[in-house]
Structure 1
Amino acid sequence: MKLEPTIGFPPKGVAGLYWLGQAGFWIDTGVHRILIDPYLSDSLARKYAGTAYPHLRMMPPPVTVAELPRPDLVLVTHAHTDHMDPDTLMPLRDRFPDLTFVVPAAELETARERIGVSAELWPALAGDRFSPLDGLEIEVFPAAHEIRERDADGRDRYLGYGIKATGLKLYHSGDSVPFDLLDGLVQSFAPDVALLPVNGRDAKRRAANIPGNFTLEEAAHLARNCAFLVPHHFGMFAFNTAETADIDTLAARTSRPKVLRPEAGSFLRILP
């Protein structure tokens, strides 16, 4: 398998990944088109204007909600606004009323508020395996955004998703740090491509209630048996990012997995 950078939005039926910024991706399996965690607005800049962390975008959205073609499925990993954004998801629901959104079961009420009470919501639990479309399988993983947080019914608030279709296996961890159980689950799923956040974590951000994610080294270890690691969750907010130079340094010294730093507006075409 190869990932070949190509400029522009992917044409329908061409397998590959298009980075939307932060943890957002448009994924084309060659048959299905899947949208995951899109943040295409400035809702957080408005919410945090005038605060110590104003959430100003470092990069503009590479595509608007109005420009997006219809995805076949939308996956949402958790309820933080840069992943479950009402200013992105509700307009998307308005454009495509029959579109299905897979959301954490523990955040179903929040999803109704942010996507719409009439939205087609598929509540997911860690450990679920389901086939929402012919030829597409989804496996649901737990995630720990600093901690593995569950609701009163024991349902995980943070999830990751494994996508299996047409000979491709891809894993998007959502926001997470390493924790007991995760490594074994990922190695058992054996993805070809891992999409992992690499902005790390530290005491200063934790004290400001800004939970962190994998470091670059932790992401590379989790993806050690994958053909490709595509880092994300950088370049959006200046107070919570990773340096592109550090990602490129990791890429230069790591052959397995091959590390490919995505660029907004660039399509990573999947070739046999």
Structure 2
Amino acid sequence: MAFAALRFSGTLAHKLAASRPETGVSLYWLGQAGFLVDTGRLRILIDPYLSDSLAQKYRDRGFSHERMMPPPIEIADLPPIDFVACTHFHTDHMDGATLAPIAERFPAVSILVPKASLKVAAEKTGLGPNSFIGVDAGETLVLGEGAEVTAVRAAHEELTRDEAGHHLFLGYGFRLGHVRIFHSGDTIPFEGQLAEIEALKPDIALFPVNGRSEALRSAGIVGNFTLDEAVEVAEACAIPILLAHHFGMFAFNTVAPEIIDARAVAMTGKTRLLRAREGIEYRL
């Protein structure tokens, strides 16, 4: 698989309006765990957090959720979106203040959410049931000609199910033509994880690397892969590209970019580690 990380000039809105991939897939980081995927036929948002709703929610209480980076694109400047895929119900992954205006702008958009969180998604957004497609681990949905998504389990920090047995936390494996992208959702390592990822045969893995701590856990903030864990899983699954994300949004729950860059330089195996960056088109 050919891969390139290409810096573009101007804003992300200008870039998206100016061109679409004629072949392959283009990938753009939106901050935190958010990405925009463009196949030339379909545009898919994954876990977009483009508002400041968490800063407003936690103002003057608990950990500050002020954004460390502004949204790279305003919702009003988004091009037409076909699908939004939310890995779980936490607001930096399923944000009503982002999803509702996207659905208002693009009434035909379909929002994929865990079946366990269909009710929560409706409450967060005020949208009706026709806006959502519920999915559970082990299920595959066809998104269009040559495009599909398969849901797998995620452990944030535990493998959690609702009363009906549906998983609250998911990862998504996208097959988009000849390109396979895996977004793990928020997760830590768990038994059986490697086999589930390997079955998806991803060309690129989008893994969180902000880690976890007992101090945050005691405050009710669960964590993710450490950087080393993300690398170990990617290497164990023979994934060519690891794009590290879930940092640089909230000061209390991040990892320094230079740590990711230093780890990337030290890599000697077949997996290539990259730090997600604004202003870059990842082309597969």
TM-score category, normalised to shorter length: over 0.9
Other structure's SS at 1:267 match: strand
Looking at structure 1, the residues matched to 129 and 162 of structure 2 have their Cα atoms a distance apart, in angstroms, of 24
- Is 1:187 the counterpart of 2:198? The answer is yes
One-letter identity of the residue aligned with 1:80: H
Match of 2:230 in 1: 219
Letter in 1 for 2:223: G
Quick check: 1:260 aligned with 2:270?
no
Letter aligned with residue 181 of structure 1: G
CA distance in structure 2 between the partners assigned to 1:71 and 1:177 by the alignment: 30
Q: Does 1:81 align with 2:91?
A: yes
2:20 pairs, out of 12, 16, 29, with 12
Instruction: Tell me how far apart the structure 1 counterparts of residues 239 and 188 of structure 2 sit (CA, whole Å).
Output: 18
3-state DSSP of counterpart to 1:49: coil
Q: 2:52 aligns with which of 16, 26, 42?
A: 42
**Identical-residue share of aligned pairs (%):** 44
- Cα deviation, 1:232-251, whole Å, max 9, x if unaligned, reads 10000000001111100111
User: 1:269 Cα shift?
Assistant: 2.2
Structure 2 partner of 1:170: 181
Amino acid at match of 1:4: A
Distance 1:118 1:138 in 2: 20
Instruction: State the Cα distance separating 1:71 from its structure 2 match.
Output: 1.5
Please list, as runs of the form range in 1=range in 2, the aligned pairs for 1:118-267 lying within 5 A after superposition. Answer: 119-224=130-235, 225-254=238-267, 255-267=269-281
**CA displacement at 1:223 relative to structure 2:** 1.1
Amino acid at match of 2:4: L
- Aligned equivalents of 1:52, 1:249: Cα separation in 2: 32
Per the normalisation by structure 1, the TM-score is 0.96
- Secondary structure at the aligned position of 1:123 is classed as strand
Instruction: Name the SS for the 2:242 alignment partner.
Output: strand
Instruction: Using the TM superposition, give the Cα deviation of residue 123 of structure 1 relative to its aligned residue in structure 2, in angstroms.
Output: 0.3
Deviation at 1:118, TM superposition (A): 5.4
2:4 equivalent in structure 1: 3
Candidates 81, 98, 101, aligned match of 2:108: 98
Which range is displaced more, 157-166 or 1-10? 1-10
Partner SS state of residue 106, structure 1: helix
Secondary structure at the residue paired with 1:66? helix
3-state DSSP of counterpart to 2:275: coil
Match of 1:64 among 42, 60, 74: 74
CA displacement at 1:139 relative to structure 2: 0.7
- Superposed CA offset, 1:131-167 (max 9, x none): 1211101111110101111101110000110000121
Instruction: Please say if residues 116 and 167 of structure 2, whose CA atoms lie closer than 8 Å, have aligned partners that are also in contact.
Output: yes
Q: Which amino acid aligns with 1:259?
A: L
Compute the RMSD of aligned alpha carbons. Answer: 1.3
TM-aligned CA deviation for residue 49 of structure 1? 0.3
TM-score by length of 2: 0.92
Separation in 1, partners of 2:175, 2:266? 29
| Distance change (3 Å), C-alpha of 1:130 and 1:52 | closer
| Amino acid paired to 1:48 | Y
Paired AA for residue 52 in structure 2? D
Partners of 1:248 and 1:261 within 8 A in 2 = yes
2:41 corresponds in structure 1 to 31
Instruction: Specify the SS of the correspondent of 1:260.
Output: strand
Residues 97/30 of structure 1: CA separation in 2 closer, same or farther (3 Å cut) = closer
Q: What 5-or-longer segments of structure 1 have no aligned partner? A: none
Looking at structure 2, the residues matched to 147 and 200 of structure 1 have their Cα atoms a distance apart, in angstroms, of: 14
| Stretches of structure 2 lacking an aligned partner (at least 5 in a row) | none
**Aligned equivalents of 1:30 and 1:178: distance in 2?**
34
The structural deviation recorded for 1:119 is 4.6
Residues 93 and 119 in structure 1, CA contact (< 8 A), matched pair in contact too: no
Q: How many pairs does the alignment contain?
A: 270
Does the CA contact (< 8 Å) of 2:5 and 2:280 recur in 1?
no
1:124 offset after TM fit, Å? 0.2
For residue 6 of structure 2, what is the amino acid of its counterpart?
P
- Secondary structure at 1:131 match in 2: strand
